[in-house]
Chain A
């Protein structure tokens, strides 16, 4: 089974993001970057499927030079090789534009299965995998927690809302978007990190893939969110703030 995992590098979860001078994107200088969380679960699912059924795991990621560190992390965890779509203009591509890059890089590989996380922690559009499925002409399923290989294809467990689930059977090749929590994530071993240095990372550009930068949806500006409620921030040290809070909850909000 040849599995391709699309992964994205995003600002680290606790990073303090600031708006850039043009007000169109965040100031990326000095930011720490990490592998998008649900993509980490997609990679984990791919590695476990390979361990059970044999085959190859190829990671694909689009972005500038810095993305290389996230790709090496995936290789250190056990992916066999990688394709780095080298582009500095990811932010000015819409979801279809990014999916076009990924699909163009995946197509010649003829994968049996394409996995990706269900949504990114930066843009949160939650649709890259679904668009890739349409561009590749493959069936898809989203919000997947478990994947099992069957004689005819795959059986997957899909999460529905409010604690419900369903099983779906689908033929391969197929595209799945993976929800977090289905597996326990592995850490890279020292041996894995060492091996990753010798694994193949093929770099391609958007123009080599024949994908232009056309956009149908444009992110015009970003801003800090407007408060929905006027929050009373309670000052003082932990003890003082705690005492004030108990007072407020008892006599102001009257919920205790």
Chain B
């Protein structure tokens, strides 16, 4: 990210990182999470799942755990989990 000046606490503050945990075979490819993710993390993959839909996948590591995709997913297929090695949330 570009800043107009260097933040004073940049040395000791770290952004926590999360990743999307998807139950691939439940995804029906409706695309709601792709459209409404505020950080544009998700995209439709070219592969098929067991039901013949194109499931989603994460294209980058920008997830900040807002939880919108988890709440919006009509299939209960998305959970957000903390990425391995990232500091725990207080």
Instruction: Determine if chain A interacts with chain B.
Output: no
